Amino acid sequence: MSLVMEMSTTGGPDVLTLQDRIIGDPEPGEVRIRQTIIGVNFVDIYFRKGLYPLPDLPVVLGLEGAGIVESTGKGVRFKAGDRVAYTGMPLGGYAETRLLPEARLVRLPDNIPDRVAGSTMLRGLTAYMLLHKVHKVNRGDWVLVHAAAGGLGQITTQWAKRLGANVIGTVGSEAKMAQARTAGADEVLLYKEPDWIDEARKISGGVHLAIDGIGGSTLAQSLKTVRPFGIVASIGHPAGPIPPINIADLGNIALMRPSVIASVNDPEFYREGSNVLMEALQDGLANPIGAEYALKDAAQAHVDLESGILTGSVILKA
């Protein structure tokens, strides 16, 4: 038996309820893991609300975690006792124990704790995708990172600085400015201030890459910060739906809607990105954890994450 946070309908955080479920034994090619750390991400909220397609209900949310292999099906390279982490489909992370395809698991180096890996796989591979695939960042490039005090914002800012880029971070309140600077942002702006676009262009001459995880009307503003032949990556919309954009208005800049969930389904991307991420973590890349909750308090984690009061990554302890 395993405790899981299950939802039988879409809606607010209260649809997440604690249940006891039989997990069963792994089939050939599968692994059963006892989770120690579960990552909570904003994409979980999109699934909970029904903004992203869900499999048949009831369903257990969660796309990221770390733990210890309990048992394996036939033909699997892992063995009981191995430490592993994962991100990506299928859903099911909000659980003490779960089954996963072998290909979804990454073996953890001895010097990377579960706590780090279980909170970093999704954000880390998102940062890898943005800085190595969406735009291969070069030394001296300017990168705009919205929500720079958040979990993804901090790890992306750090990684961009490690690649030699200059980073303009934006935050929603003065209270979060120090956190963005600690992550390495060269300049920090309040994106709710009316002159932030002019300031960003004045500082950088136009950024090479703008990473917009806010959405709503902010994406149209982000487009104005980019230099010719630069690119905007739209990776989320907690501020609300993004109004239609006329392609004729883009001019000599590019707009992409990259998906890390789709990317990690590519075995080559997943293998390469995970290896690069593990090397970076061993070399000092940090992913600060801003809040942790017991598994049974996953609904409260959603409330706090959605409110915007948190900085850093959010985890559940199984």
* pLDDT tens for each residue of 152-201: 999 999 999 999 999 999 998 999 999 999 999 999 999 989 999 999 99
- Provide, rounded to the nearest whole percent, the portion of the chain with pLDDT above 70: 100
The reported pLDDT for the residue numbered 90 is 96
pLDDT at 237: 82
Tell me the pLDDT tens digit for each residue of 193-222: 999 999 999 999 999 999 999 888 899 999
pLDDT in tens, 29-82: 999 999 999 999 999 999 999 989 998 899 999 999 999 999 999 999 999 999
Residue 258 DSSP one-character state: -
Could you give the 3-state DSSP secondary structure of residue 17? strand
How far is 259 from 251, CA to CA, in rounded Å? Answer: 24
pLDDT above 90 for 242: no
- Whether the model pTM is above 0.85: yes
Backbone angles phi, psi at 209, to 5 degrees: -140, 125
Which segments of the chain does DSSP mark as H helices, in order? 42-49, 114-117, 121-128, 151-162, 177-182, 196-204, 218-223, 260-263, 267-282, 298-307
- Tens digits of residue pLDDT in 288-307: 899 999 999 999 999 999 99
Structure tokens at 88: 């990506």
